[in-house]
A = this chain, B = another copy of it.
Amino acid sequence: MKVIEGGVTAAAGFLSASTAAEIKYKNRQDMAMIYSETPCKAAGTFTTNIVKAAPVKWDQNVVKNSPFAQAVVINAGIANACTGAEGYGYCKDTADVAAEVLKIPADAVLVASTGVIGMQLPMDRITAGVKAMAPKLDGSTESGTGAAQAIMTTDTKKKEVAVQVELGGKTVTIGGMCKGSGMIHPNMCTMLAFVTTDAAISKELLQEALSEDIQDTYNMISVDGDTSTNDTVLLLANGMSGNPEITEKNEDYETFKKALNYVNETLAKKMAGDGEGCTALFEVTIVGAESKEQAKILAKSVITSSLTKAAIFGHDANWGRILCAMGYSGAIFDPEKVDLFFQSAAGKMQIIENGVAVDYSEEQATKILSEPEVTAIADVKMGDATASAWGCDLTFDYVKINADYRS
C-alpha cells in the first residue's frame, strides 16, 4: 500500500468543485461537489441519533434504493436538521438542480450538510452554488483540496488522505476527505466523510467493508461526547481502475479493506486531532483485554472523560482520572492489576504498575504530555485483545467556541 497526495479526486474519474455560496460564512468557500464520470456503487453509514438531519434521511434512501450514485453536494454552515418537511424538500430541490446541470438522475445525487441545527437552507444560494460549481468540476489534487476546505466549519485544518494498492494487476486508488470538530461522538458512523475509489467491487461488499471498518475508526473517536444529527460517511466506487470486480471475500477484498481502513483511520484521527479548541490528539490504547469489545469500551471511556481531557490540556499526568474513567466504563477488569504508560515523540514512561503509582518523574511525564500527539497505554493483563480510541484535550477554546457558536 502506498500513501499518495490528494483526497476525493485521487481515484480515476472523480472530479470536484467548490464555491463561496454565502450559506452562512462570508469570504470563504462553503459548498463542495463531488462527481464521478461514470455511475458509482454507493455505500453509506449514518448517525444513530433519533433526531436525523434531512440530508441523512435523503442519503439513506439513495444508498438503499437508487441503482447508482454519481454526485454529492455538500454545504457548510447550516445542518438542515430539525427543519421538518420543508428541510427535506430542500434536499430534493438540491438534488433536482444538481441533476439538471450534471445531466444525471436526481436519485443519483447525494447531499450532506453541516452547521447550525434548526435553520432552513437559503435555497436561492444553494441553487446558485450548484450551478456555479458544475462548470468548474476538475480532477486535480488542488480541486480536491479546495473541496476539503469548503466543507470545514470550526475545523482549523482540511482533512484528506489517499492510498494506492494493487488489485488483480491494476492500481486501485482510495481517497477521502472529511470534516468534523465539534458534536463529535460518532455512534455507528460519523460526521461528514467522503471516500472515493476507482475499485470495482460489488455494492454488497462495498457496504460490508465500510460498515465493518467504521467500528474501528470513526466510531472510536470523540471530541465532546455529543452524537450529531448529521453524521454521514459516504463511500463511492466507480470501478474505473479496471480491476477484476471484487464479488467475494478473496485476497483482493482483504487488500481493499486494509487500504480502506488506512483511509478511514487517518481521517478519523485527523478529526479527533482537530477537535474544537484542542491542542493535542489524545490516543488511548488498551492492551491485554479479554475481548476487543471490552478493550474498545475502556479506550473510549478514557478519551471521553472531561477530567482526563482537561488534565491532558494541562500536561498533567493525572493517571487517577484515567483509572477512574476505566472504572466507570462498564468493562470488567481488576484495577489492582493495571499498568499504565504515557508515550509521545518525547519518549515513553511507566506511570503505574498493578494499580499503584511507580516512582516516576513528574517533570519527565509533563514533557511527554506536552507533545501535540500523546498516547496513554493501559495493560489490563486479562487476555490478548487490544483497541485504540482517539480524542483530544478539553480547552478554554472549546468552551469559547461553543458558548457562542450561533452568533
Q: Which residue of B lies closest to A401 (CB)?
A: B310
A382 CB-CB contact with B under 8 Å: no
Interface 9-residue window, one of A15-23, A130-138, A235-243, A320-328: A320-328
A332 → chain B closest CB, angstroms = 7
Cα-based distance from A332 to B225 in the complex (angstroms)? 19
> Would B182 and A399 count as touching, CB distance under 8 A?
no
**Which of B49, B84, B320, B336 has a CB less than 8 Å from the CB of A84?**
B336
A314 CB-CB contact with B under 8 Å: yes
Instruction: Knowing A314-B402, A335-B50, A405-B318 are in contact, say whether A306-B118 is a contact too (CB < 8 A).
Output: no
**Which residues of chain B are near A182, meaning CB under 8 Å?**
307
> Would A314 and B403 count as touching, CB distance under 8 A?
yes
Instruction: Knowing A357-B118, A405-B316 are in contact, say whether A324-B398 is a contact too (CB < 8 A).
Output: no
Which residues of chain A in 55-96 are interfacial with respect to chain B, using CB atoms and an 8 Å cutoff?
79, 81-84
Q: How many residues on the A side are at the interface (Cβ–Cβ under 8 A)?
A: 63
A381 → chain B closest CB, angstroms = 15
> Would B325 and A226 count as touching, CB distance under 8 A?
yes
Cα-based distance from A182 to B320 in the complex (angstroms)? 14
A124 → chain B closest CB, angstroms = 21
A356 CB-CB contact with B under 8 Å: yes
Binding site for B on A (CB under 8 A): 48-52, 79, 81-84, 116-118, 182-183, 185, 187, 224-229, 304-307, 310-311, 313-314, 316, 318-321, 323-328, 332-333, 335-336, 352, 355-357, 394-396, 398-407
